[in-house]
Amino acid sequence: MHAGKKVGRALVALLAGAALAAGSIAGASAAAAAPPPGKGGGGGGGGGGTSLPNSVAALGDSITQASMTCFTLYTCPVNSWSTGSDSLVQSHVTRLKALGAKIRSTGNYAVPGAESADLPGQASRAVSQGAKYVTVLIGANDACADSVGSMTPVASFRSSIDASLSSLARSSSSPVIFVASIPNLQRLWDINVGHPSSLSSIASRCPALAQDQAAVQAQVDAYNAELAAACSATARCMWDGGAVANTDFTRADLASDSFHPSRSGQAKLASVTWEAGPWTP
């Protein structure tokens, strides 16, 4: 459900400015809250005993930029599951504000076509922002390569994740980090079987998936295992426990390209990640 390299890479130059959108300035200090440590399967503390964040950053790719939810091939961060302001989506930022968080800044540093190797650079922007809460959703583009054989090696994927989480953990702002699992790409293919135009659209964005769905999903499963382990080894990091990976997204949750989440798909993503995240009991 991410843009593959053939689409995403072509858009990076055009959309990079939009991908660095920062939010508005609001209040000052945050109200107290105590999300439970270790919730959702994370092992790094889960933000237990912390206050609600006053700044939020989102890292990832076209899903977190909410591509395809406003205009074809354009990002639309207002609809992002993480930092958006759309009333239908009910993003993490929207829900945090409802809890009383005084959000003074947001930064959506996700970039269409981004892979795990791009994550350290995005993490450095979140550190510069002084973000107190950082969401991470990355990995589908590592699997959506031009061929099964050119998918990002699992060891390389883990190295990039470790570097990114370590950078965030060392930040003077001591952010709570939430790592979401990669959606089930084999299910994305399966729910579109019988719809040739949809499969063609998916194949153009994720060529490896068209070649061998089982091999791609096995790689995604391996990436998810590394995301969980890396988060467990990082202070104040919470893994979603596979919530996104296990969500049964349907065709109704997809945009017109049958690949990205639609606006309602973003709302489902916001809901399942929020429930698995650090700010719910």
Tens of pLDDT along the chain (281 residues) come to 544 443 344 333 333 333 333 333 333 333 333 343 345 444 443 334 469 999 999 999 999 999 999 976 689 999 999 999 999 999 999 999 999 999 999 999 999 999 999 999 999 999 999 999 999 999 999 999 999 999 999 999 999 999 999 999 999 999 999 999 999 999 999 999 999 999 999 999 999 999 999 999 999 999 999 999 999 999 999 999 999 999 999 999 999 999 999 999 999 999 999 999 999 98
In a domain, 281, yes or no: no
Q: How far is CA 244 from CA 29, 138, 215, in A?
A: 31, 12, 19
In a domain, 184, yes or no: yes
In a domain, 50, yes or no: yes
Prediction pTM value = 0.85
In a domain, 250, yes or no: yes
In a domain, 128, yes or no: yes
Handedness of CA 167, 49, 41, 281 (dihedral sign): negative
Q: What is the CATH number of the domain that holds 177?
A: 3.40.50.1110
For residue 123, give its domain range. Answer: 5-276
Number of domains in the chain: 1
In a domain, 74, yes or no: yes
